[in-house]
């Protein structure tokens, strides 16, 4: 998976290039928006990590230009400015994620992985998550290439979670997903389906409960230790 890092600070850029390489990505580096744009025009990248504070045209201007050219590749915005206005503008311009400096390398790598996975989701409809292979169009779940039978409701829960790997899916959302199939749905019913799904996934994947909020599908070992 190929990432283009557009960052002018050498210390940060050097560390990120090496850190993401260690995490298994192929990383190219451009020190300015102009060089970055040239690279993006010439070659294919799965993801761009763009700093806002660049010399000349800034990262947000670059993002705007990319989106107006119709480039839909995922973009993660890095910034040292923490004004909410920047954040809102970044998302308005079509940023997929936003990370504040300073950050942890593991966190950056996890977010890059999640963004690329999400971007690659739609065409194939297949999500790979550690030992899991989730075929969203075929409604199939495999663990280590072994098919696992899921009930319709368990599948709906897994599908919702798989669409947002690494992100919290609220209980309300899961209830909405199940609403067409179950009358008089209670929050307890969601919990029941989650625990059955957990039993079927076994140690191959973790569905975390975030108290009062919802659930998050994590790859085993992917969540920070």
Partner 1 sequence: MMTIRRRLLLLLLPALAILMLLGGVVDYWIAVATTRNAYDRALANTAFALAANIRIENQRLRFSPPDAGSALDGSTIYAITGPDRALISGTSTLSGSAPSASRAVGRATFWDIGLQGQRWRVASILTPTALGPVQITVAETLERRARTQRVMLLGKLLVDFAELDLTLLLVWIAVYYGLRPLDQLTEQVERHSARQLQRFDEARVPGELRSVIVAFNRVLELLHDAAQAQQRFVADAAHQMRTPVAGLLAQLELLQHEPRATAVATQLGAVQRGIQQLARSANQLLALARAEPVSALHENFKPVALKLLVEQLVERYVDRADKAGIDLGADTLAASVLADAGLLEDLLENLIDNALKYTPSGGHVTVRCGPDARSAFLEVEDDGPGIPEAERGRVRERFYRLPGSSGIGCGLGLAIVDEIVRVHGAAFSIGGGSQGRGARMRIRFP
| Region near partner 1 per CB under 8 A, out of 36-44, 105-113, 123-131, 176-184 | 105-113
Interface residue with partner 1, options 11, 42, 44, 149 (CB under 8 A): 11
User: Strand pairing partners for 210?
Assistant: 214
Count CA atoms closer than 13 A to 93's CA, side-chain side: 26
| Region near partner 1 per CB under 8 A, out of 80-88, 120-128, 129-137, 146-154 | 80-88
Interface residue with partner 1, options 16, 54, 150, 162 (CB under 8 A): 16
Instruction: Tell me whether residue 98 is exposed, middle or buried, using C-beta atoms within 10 angstroms of its C-beta: 0 to 12, 13 to 18, 19 or more.
Output: middle
Interface residue with partner 1, options 2, 38, 91, 103 (CB under 8 A): 103
Taking the least distance from each CB to partner 1, the nearer of 125 and 187 is 187
Q: Which helix (H) or strand (E) holds 92?
A: helix 84-92
- Residue 216 as a binder of partner 1 (CB under 8 A): the answer is yes
- Residue 102 as a binder of partner 1 (CB under 8 A): the answer is yes
Pairwise CA distance, residues 30 & 54, whole Å: 11
Interface residue with partner 1, options 14, 43, 92, 144 (CB under 8 A): 14
Closest CA to 116 of 12, 223, 26: 26
Those residues whose C-beta lies under 8 Å from the C-beta of residue 174, and which sit 6 or more positions away, are: 157, 160, 190, 193, 194, 214, 215
| Region near partner 1 per CB under 8 A, out of 101-109, 117-125, 129-137, 148-156 | 101-109
- Residue 24 as a binder of partner 1 (CB under 8 A): the answer is no
| Residues between 170 and 209 that touch partner 1 (CB under 8 A) | 170, 208
Closest CA to 77 of 99, 56, 53, 94: 99
Q: How far from the centroid of its chain's Cα atoms is residue 187's Cα?
A: 27
- Taking residues 113 to 152 in sequence order and writing x for each that binds partner 1 by CB under 8 A, - otherwise, the string is ----------------------------------------
Minimum CB separation of residue 167 from partner 1 in Å reads 7
């Amino acid at each position: 998976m190929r990432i283009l890092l557009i960052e002018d600070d050498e210390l940060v850029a050097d560390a990120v290039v090496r850190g993401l390489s260690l995490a298994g990505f192929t990383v190219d580096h451009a020190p300015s928006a102009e060089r970055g744009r040239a690279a993006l025009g010439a070659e294919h990248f799965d993801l761009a990590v763009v700093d806002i504070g660049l010399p000349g045209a800034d990262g947000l201007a670059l993002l705007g230009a990319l989106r107006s050219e119709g480039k839909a590749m995922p973009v993660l915005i890095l910034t040292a400015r923490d004004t909410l206005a920047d954040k809102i503008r970044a998302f308005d311009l079509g940023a997929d994620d936003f990370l504040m400096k300073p950050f942890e390398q593991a966190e950056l790598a996890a977010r890059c992985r999640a963004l690329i996975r999400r971007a690659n989701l739609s065409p194939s409809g297949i999500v790979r998550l550690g030992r899991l292979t989730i075929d969203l169009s075929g409604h199939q779940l495999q663990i280590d290439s072994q098919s696992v039978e899921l009930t319709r409701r368990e599948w709906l829960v897994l599908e919702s979670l798989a669409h947002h790997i690494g992100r919290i899916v609220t209980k309300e959302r899961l209830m909405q997903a199940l609403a067409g199939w179950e009358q008089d749905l209670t929050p307890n019913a969601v919990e029941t389906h989650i625990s059955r799904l957990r039993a079927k996934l076994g140690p191959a994947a973790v569905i975390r409960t975030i108290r009062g909020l919802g659930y998050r599908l994590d790859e085993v070992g992917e969540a920070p230790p």
